[in-house]
Amino acid sequence: MSELKLTDVAKTYGSIDVLKHIDLDIDTGELIVFVGPSGCGKSTLLRMIAGLEKISGGTLEIEGQVMNDVPPAQRGIAMVFQSYALYPHMTVRENMAFALKIAKMPTAEVDAAVERAARILQLEPFLDRLPKALSGGQRQRVAIGRAIVRDPKVYLFDEPLSNLDAALRVATRIEIARLKEAMPDSTMIYVTHDQVEAMTLASRIVVLANKGVAQVGTPLELYETPDNEFVAQFIGSPAMNLLPGVISGTGEQTSIKLDSGGTAVSSIATDPDQMGLKVNIGVRPEDFFADEASGFFEGDVDFIEALGEVTLLYFASASDADGVVAKFPGIEKNLRGHKVKLNADPAKVHLFHNGVSIRKRS
């Protein structure tokens, strides 16, 4: 069942469009992650759902009810802020109980709800402390606890982990995943900058760019079949390589004569009338392998980053605007300065025309 539905939602500040034509349909129990470059309006969209920001156009429905003008507290949502936003003058217990007390819930029930949340989040030892006597991770758990006690239909997270250090971020990420598993009926929307968070947590990812939705899909859909160059380059690290060329053979498989010389093959089917079309092929760094015999890209290894598990090869950019990057498994120290010929499985070669995937067009 559709839990949360955005129809043609827009946001403008005066004459500045920040978001427009946002359509989203989120099902009960999903964990949706918003990603996108900084300033693309992720927080704004989340805050519009929360009711902290006015919706300039379109409708927001939660459980079939239009929520545009419903006050935040009555939307059945709870939000976890990046800066935790704990009430500094209240103990952990009071922080978590605040919403329930405001709602005039009987004390016994408030206590029960707080105890339950504290147990889930292992906050019991800290219930009578003030926020300033907690570590960053503990504070974030309190902020999550404050959301849990209200038992909302939709949880909203705005970059909840970005103030934590790397190790704690991983631990808290796993905790959130567990929490989500323990509450299969609650819907979560999660904003992040971190790809790993997005890929591991999301049931679906929404990529925002250029004031709109660039693509919605499961993490692997976005990784394997990006709809456009933006998503292709945004998901995955290092970004997908784009090499310009011209379609030189159509059919079940497509051949592309690259501007840099070689001919690549993609398993994406094309029609004869697409012959001669100017395209970009997209290959992820990890999909390249060395192939002296039949590689379609040849270049000098300009620079190497050995990460242990993988080695990144940066190729000198002769004609391509952005240099080509390849990711080889294991340690490859001796390739610097050498010529390497690269090939890729046709199934892993993406095709884009005018920035949009050819697969998408046909």
Partner 1 sequence: MSPALQGLLTIAIGVSGCVGYFYLSNQFLDKVLFPPRGPNAGRNINRANMIRPWLFLFPALAALGLYLAYPVVETLRLSLTERVPGGGYRWVGLDNYTQMAAEPKFWEAMRNNMFWLIVVPAMSTAFGLLVAQLTDRIRWGNFAKSLIFMPMAISFVGASVIWKLVYDSRPAEQDQIGILNALYIFFGGAEPQTWLTVPFWNSFFLMIVLIWIQTGFAMVILSAALRGIPEETIEAAILDGANPFQIFFRIKVPQIKTTILVVWTTITITVLKVFDIVFAMTNGQWETQVLANYMYDKLFRGDDWGVGSASAMVIMLLVTPILIWNVRNARKEME
Ligand X SMILES: Nc1ncnc2c1ncn2[C@@H]1O[C@H](COP(=O)(O)OP(=O)(O)OP(=O)(O)O)[C@@H](O)[C@H]1O
Residue 27, SS3 per DSSP: strand
Neighbours of 31 (CB within 10 A): 21
Closer residue to Mg ion (CB): 192 or 280: 192
Which residues 32-51 are close enough to bind partner 1 by CB under 8 A?
Answer: 50-51
Among 2, 8, 13, 210, binds ligand X (CB under 6 A): 13
d(CA 216, CA 40): 15
Residues 184-200 as b or e (16 or more Cβ within 10 Å = b): eebbbbbbbebbebbbe
- Residues 183-212 vs ligand X: string with x where CB under 6 A? ----------x-------------------
- Tokens 């507290």, residue? 73
**Residue 18: which of ligand X, Mg ion, partner 1, none does it interact with, CB under 5 to 8 A by kind?**
ligand X
Residue 55, SS3 per DSSP: coil
Q: How far is the CB of 43 from ligand X (least distance, A)?
A: 3
Q: How far is the CB of 207 from ligand X (least distance, A)?
A: 12
| 192 near Mg ion, judged by CB under 5 A | no
- Tokens 């697409």, residue? 274
- Residues 48-87 vs partner 1: string with x where CB under 8 A? --xxx-------------------xxx--xxx-x-xxxxx
Q: Interface with ligand X by CB under 6 A: which range of 32-40, 129-137, 142-150, 258-266?
A: 32-40
Q: How far is the CB of 115 from partner 1 (least distance, A)?
A: 19
Q: Any alpha helices (H) in 149-201, and if so which ranges?
A: 166-182, 195-201
Which residues 38-67 are close enough to bind Mg ion by CB under 5 A?
Answer: 43
Per the CB < 8 A criterion, the answer to whether 211 and 13 are in contact is: no
Per the CB < 8 A criterion, the answer to whether 206 and 237 are in contact is: no
Among 5, 42, 139, 146, binds partner 1 (CB under 8 A): 146
Q: How far is the CB of 164 from ligand X (least distance, A)?
A: 16
Closer residue to partner 1 (CB): 103 or 331: 103
Q: How far is the CB of 150 from partner 1 (least distance, A)?
A: 8
Instruction: Please enumerate in sequence order all residues whose Cβ is within 8 A of that of 319, keeping only pairs 6 or more positions apart, or say none.
Output: 259, 260
Per the CB < 8 A criterion, the answer to whether 188 and 180 are in contact is: yes
Query: Which of 80, 53, 83, 42 minimizes the C-alpha distance to 192?
Result: 42
**Residue 13: which of partner 1, Mg ion, ligand X, none does it interact with, CB under 5 to 8 A by kind?**
ligand X
| 18 near ligand X, judged by CB under 6 A | yes
Q: Total binding residues for ligand X by CB under 6 A?
A: 12
- E-strand ranges in 135-291 read 154-158, 187-191, 204-209, 212-217, 241-249, 254-258, 263-266, 278-283, 288-290
- Residues 81-120 vs partner 1: string with x where CB under 8 A? x-xxxxxxxx-------xx--xx-----------------
Query: Which of 255, 250, 258, 263 minimizes the C-alpha distance to 362?
Result: 250
- Residues lying near Mg ion in the complex (CB under 5 A) are found at 43
Query: Which residues of the chain form contacts with ligand X (CB under 6 A)?
Result: 13, 16, 18, 36, 38-44, 193
State the residues that interact with partner 1 by CB under 8 A: 50-52, 72-74, 77-79, 81, 83-90, 98-99, 102-103, 146, 150
